[in-house]
A = this chain, B = another copy of it.
Amino acid sequence: MEPDFQITDANRVVRGPKRALYDRQAVYQIIDNAAVAHVAIAAGGEYPLAVIPMFHARQEDAILFHGARSSRLMKTLASGIPVCISFTMVDGIVLAKSLFHHSMNYRSVVLFGTGELIEGDGERLAAMKVLSERIMPGRWDDARKPNRKELDATAVVRVCVETASAKVRIGGPLDEPEDLGLPIWSGVVPIHCRAGNPVSDEFSIGLELPDYISAFVREYNSRNAM
């Protein structure tokens, strides 16, 4: 079992500390389920920061990203500067009797680490496979593999997780005791993401939908079911 993240000034959850989690398993589960990562980098010019959404996958204690080798974001991530990455899933709208106690149910992670370029075809292909299998398990063995030109155009970056924390809210509203008798409906409107029926393109007429895609849709919807 991996040790928990040490609580420091960087990852301490100050607001709502009872909703904070510092154990690696909880943090990694949220990262693995989040559709996208929001990556903050230092940008030059008038605005010193930029936040960019990226597709990610986790490989042990690192977050993997890929992108065009020529992109500013990939170059910045590869340069070894400290980065912050945030992952968020919204699970519901919490309607309390008082407006003050309205809230959202969510699972979120804020993570700090340092990026590095993955080099060498072997390691790069292994990382690309992790990214591909995260988006669709089984796809790597089915689709056409990257050729030399495509490999050369792609940068793959690993951000080693140095510290992180999760913040999770679940359950119903938490109203003031004196408000509990008010005749105002209170409760939760659940929000969940679903995968729809796969839509084939015009170049797949007559091709059967592979089993791993149907399995993905089923698994996605059962994981996100309420």
Contacts and interface: CB of A to CB of B under 8 A. Distances in A.
Nearest 7 interchain pairs by C-beta: A190-B196, A187-B200, A51-B86, A38-B38, A172-B201, A53-B88, A100-B150
Q: Is the interface of A mostly helix, strand, loop or mixed?
A: mixed
Interface string A112-134: 10000000000000001000100
Contacts of A85: 51
A6 to B, nearest CB: 13
Interface in A38-62: 38-53, 55
A49 B49 contact: yes
A53 B173 contact: no
Contact of A99 (B14, B15, B144, B193): B144
Given A36-B106, A99-B146, A185-B207, 16 more contacts: A36-B90, A38-B51, A38-B88, A40-B49, A48-B82, A51-B84, A90-B193, A98-B150, A100-B150, A102-B135, A184-B204, A187-B198, A187-B199, A189-B198, A190-B195, A191-B193
B203 A136 contact: no
Contacts of A216: 189
Interface of A: 9-10, 14-15, 35-36, 38-53, 55, 67-68, 71-73, 82-86, 88, 90, 93, 95-100, 102, 104, 106, 108, 110, 112, 128, 132, 135-136, 139-140, 142-147, 150, 154, 172-173, 175, 179-204, 207-210, 213, 216-217, 226
Contacts of A200: 185-187
